[in-house]
Amino acid sequence: MKSLLLISLVLFLACEVKQDTIYGCTNEDANNFNQEATYDDNSCEYSYDGDWEGRTSQERGFGLTIKSNKITFFNIVFIDSISLGDSSDNCSAGISAHIKYIEENNLIENNTFDFQYLSSELIYEFSGDFISTDSAIGTAVVTDNIDMCTTGNLMWYLTKQIDSSG
């Protein structure tokens, strides 16, 4: 009887309980965290709402405002530029772009964004990746179509500003 009980116990312990894999977001900080998920399928979605500030590779100020995961404002402080043509004198003052409202809904999807904004004189091209819920990196190019100047490809980084009002 003891040997039958021992064999039953060994067989029970040797059996592996097969668990179905449940795909989903396993990060508790994500908006779509799935506590039942056993395998992270990279589907996590985050809220990036707030004010973001940082610097460009030219050590100039850069900022974004995000609401409902849409970029609603951006700000780039005076940027050094280079000529796109023969009129290099026009580019010596650089390109200045301060607080621009973005009318389009530039939605952040899959933790990245890529958009172009056109004004009467300037073309702004931005792309970026959120590397965490409070930091982002990317590139920007600003082109002045009237003076034929460009910033070239600027690298930038941003950090989310902490709301101290509450």
Q: What is the pLDDT of residue 44?
A: 86
Helix, coil or strand: residue 103: strand
Q: Do 26 and 105 share a structural domain?
A: no
Q: How many structural domains comprise the chain?
A: 2
| pLDDT exceeds 50 at position 166 | no
pTM value surpassing 0.75: no
Question: Does the pLDDT at position 11 exceed 60?
Answer: no
Position 102 scores a pLDDT of: 64
- Do 19 and 95 belong together in one domain? no
Domain range for residue 35? 2-40
Reduced to 3 states (helix: H, G, I; strand: E, B; else coil), residue 22 is: coil
- Where are the strands (E) in the chain, listed by range? 23-24, 39-40, 50-56, 61-67, 70-79, 82-83, 95-107, 112-118, 122-132, 135-144, 149-150, 154-160
Burial 43-77 (b: 16+ CB within 10 A, else e): ebebebeeebebbbebebebbbbbeebbbbebebe
Same domain, 21 and 77: no
